Structure 1
Amino acid sequence: MRAVQFSEYGPAGVVHVTEAEEPHAGPGTVRIAVRASGLSAGEAHIRSGGLRDVVPVTFPYRTGFDAAGVVDEVGDGVTGVGAGDEVFGMTAAAARGANADHAVLVAWAPKPAAWSWEEAGGAAGSVETATRVLDRLAVGAGHTVLVQGAAGGVGTIAVQFAVARGAAVIGTAREHNHDFLRSLGAEPTTYGPGLVERVRALAPGGVDAVFDCAGGALPDLIAVAGDPARVVTIAPDLTAATLGVHMSHGAQVDDAAAGIGAADPPAVHGLGIAVELAGQGRLRVPVAAAFPLTEAAAAHELSESRHARGKIVLVN
């Protein structure tokens, strides 16, 4: 089968498609014939070498964490799903390999009928991340949340999940994305100098939690929240720990390395919530671009531009 991988650190061009041995479903897992899969911004950071001191990599490194497709193998002990079912879900964090013709999922849910394959293929990772961070921040009805980087793959889902919980959401993005954020239920504002003052003007009663999807502004985000414990970042910002901010991630890391910490438990229950919200017409998965699997390197280039609105996906 075809699979996307890289065999050295470097720019997007080191990413390539190769022939690989097919994986098979083991106990508690299912295998899918992949129709679409998500590009992980975190893996782009790993590929660049920027995290080489904290995230151990064995080359070749197979990419992809979330995918959607048709079940073609069911492992021992699995119930409620069978061959031919359409699902979306996630691979094991240590295994990855979703950017391929076949992938083994350790968590999955039925593909919502309202979603295209592209939307479903890019959904699971963002859904799990958004759920994990919002749970840690205990976001609920009546709260005000700032989502920094609200127009990206995770940010767009975080906005909608927070709104579904009954929270008021302020989202940062470039001005050309402001109407888009309003359509998701967020009050938009811009990045950069003056952020603290702009947010205070929009939320004079204060902000209860900050979900940082973008990185690079933690001191301002702490000032907005009033307490670093009310800020969680998913950006690979190695200053987070020194500032008292939790960095939430699912990577297999060197626990002795400073600044990143151990992985958080995955919030796979978010997949079921996503199915429910999608069925109610309250959750969409904005797709920034869809590339053929063979153009994975171009997809990585777009990810690194930081100009993608929504999720970047690869289609089979």
Structure 2
Amino acid sequence: MAGMSKQGAWTRWEQVDPSRITWAELWKAESLWIKFLVQFIYDVLPSPANLHTWGLADTPECKLCQKRGTLEHILSSCSKALGEGRYRWRHDWVLKVLADSICTAIQHSKTQAAPKQTITFIRAGQKEQHQRPWPTAGLLSTARDWQLQVDLGRQLKFPGNITATSLRPDMVLTSESTKQVVILELTVSWEDRIEEAHERKRAKYVELSSECWNNGWKVRCEPVEVGCRGFAGHSLLRTLKLLGVRGLLLRKATRNILEATERASRWLWIRRGDPWSDRPLGHKPGTDHPRLGRPGEGV
């Protein structure tokens, strides 16, 4: 499997967590969805490039831009799909689910008891060791006034009381009482390029993070990546745990985010050659396409 360039590509996803499907989920799932999921993951869906390779199509061209229509191209690299806002629609849909999960965690943290304060004793002659800036219980446990801003509809403006910038992260978490700010940036990427996306987004906010520190704010910049086929990048779980999302909340948040990603990508696949202009404003995956009610049908 590892030696197969297409079906074995998943063996080289070093920054991606395994996808776990329980027997109970398989038992309840429709066979068409299982078939689609397997073809989706192993890149053997009937894309124009695959059909051409199999001798079932005269050309491997993408229906939108006439470049080679691989699954990767259709889901993450087509310039026309990008210009039409297809990828932005998927990104915003996943962002909304991620934001909902963080809002739930914020509300949950407010019902929990405040972490106990500890006293550190120092031997005579020793210097005080700097405390870890971020608690093991999670950032959300350090304040009761966390506010979350989300760039849905391109409306977010970075808080001017922290610093002035033209950058617009996907999410900004702020606590005025403790002067903390968390910058979250979501990328829905082709699984092979998750590490590249992470480094690019981290570099993008280096200067902004430095300005926040200089203005007296403790800042964390956390790029978050999700594979467009519904696989979680290591950064997703790491960031949720950093915030203090754990246990049942973590499992539920991760499942909802990955399901939203897979459904949105599946919808983009089904509509890969259809006009995008007739998409209703505020469309949600599965609400206006009859085939999405039965996953995998029409593949």
| Alignment TM-score, normalising by the size of structure 2 | 0.30
Larger strand share, 1 or 2 = 1
Which has the higher Rg, Structure 1 or Structure 2?
2
